[in-house]
Amino acid sequence: MVMSKEIREQIDKVRNWKPILNEVIDASEAYTDEGAIQTVLDGKRNVGYVQLTSGEIEDLKSKGLKIITVFPKRSKVRKEYIKSLSSGGWGKAGATYFADVSYIIYNNQGEDDAYKLYDYMKARQGFVSDNTPDEARYVGKLLGYSDKSIEEFVKKNYFTTNKEFENKSVNNDILTPDYYLEDFYAMDGMDFYTEDRAKEKIQTVIDYVLNIQYPLKVYRGINTINPRKDYEGASWTTEVQVAEGFGNKIYVGLIPNQNVIDVEQTIRTRTMNPYEFEIYVPNFDDVQIINTYEKKS
């Protein structure tokens, strides 16, 4: 399941939001893992995204940095690698990008932003790719890049003319199957579907999400026995069995209307993980909790 409460709120408000930083850096300072690491060690920024060896992990820990391990889905590595080369995305472009894991490093001031980045990456199957200008700005700010670097990246990758860039407009049609084809084929075992058949299956998901009857009863499972650092929100399901598979404490809630859910992310997660029956709600408080209970052992 995906994302946290903070992510969508901050993406929506990204132009007015800045993480707590000692200073910001030009993105060029972090083009290599060595540069990315050094800028965090030097205190120029609080969070970095890198590949590390086991020796480097221990060395950075000894220097006071904290590390979050991110596990990408193997089936999406090739597509994300190609995208990073062609679009100049924030993702790593190079042979090390094929490593099984990547790492978020952060200092004592960067914990909140580091976990926001981690939560964001979970929604992208373990990658740091962006699909909209505001998502690019959000990731750039979490990584401590200067506004100038971020806007140069956005202009290069999302706007074809100066006029389009000045108008801050981009056409991302989130209600067409083509928009989710890459997500569909990123999942294991989907390669045998023709593109037409894949689009049919995605269209079924889109039709369902657009025609949900509200209020909608949903469930969320939280693991309180072996808790981990996490933010509340985002991932709900219409199937109680799914929620019970994720945790021992079960929230039962009502979603009042479509404005509460993130339509794009709900379509994406239902396309990629159809048997989780997910409904993506950015703000936990928007769900009316009607019951909580402990799952029976």
Would you list the domain boundaries of the chain? Answer: 5-166, 210-294
pLDDT digits (tens, 9 = 90+) for 26-49: 655 656 778 888 889 988 899 998
Rounded to 5 degrees, φ, ψ at 182 are -60, -40
pLDDT reported for residue 137: 85
140 vs 89, residue with greater confidence: 140
195: three-class secondary structure by DSSP: helix
pLDDT-derived band of residue 73, with 50, 70 and 90 as boundaries?
A: low
Residue 117's contacts (CB-CB under 8 Å, 6 or more residues apart) are: 47, 49, 104, 128, 139, 142, 143
pLDDT digits (tens, 9 = 90+) for 111-122: 999 999 888 888
Q: State yes or no: pLDDT of 294 exceeds 70.
A: yes
pLDDT digits (tens, 9 = 90+) for 4-26: 445 555 555 444 444 333 345 56
Mean pLDDT of 79-93: 40
pLDDT digits (tens, 9 = 90+) for 230-251: 444 468 999 999 998 888 899 9
| Pairwise CA distance, residues 88 & 27, whole Å | 12
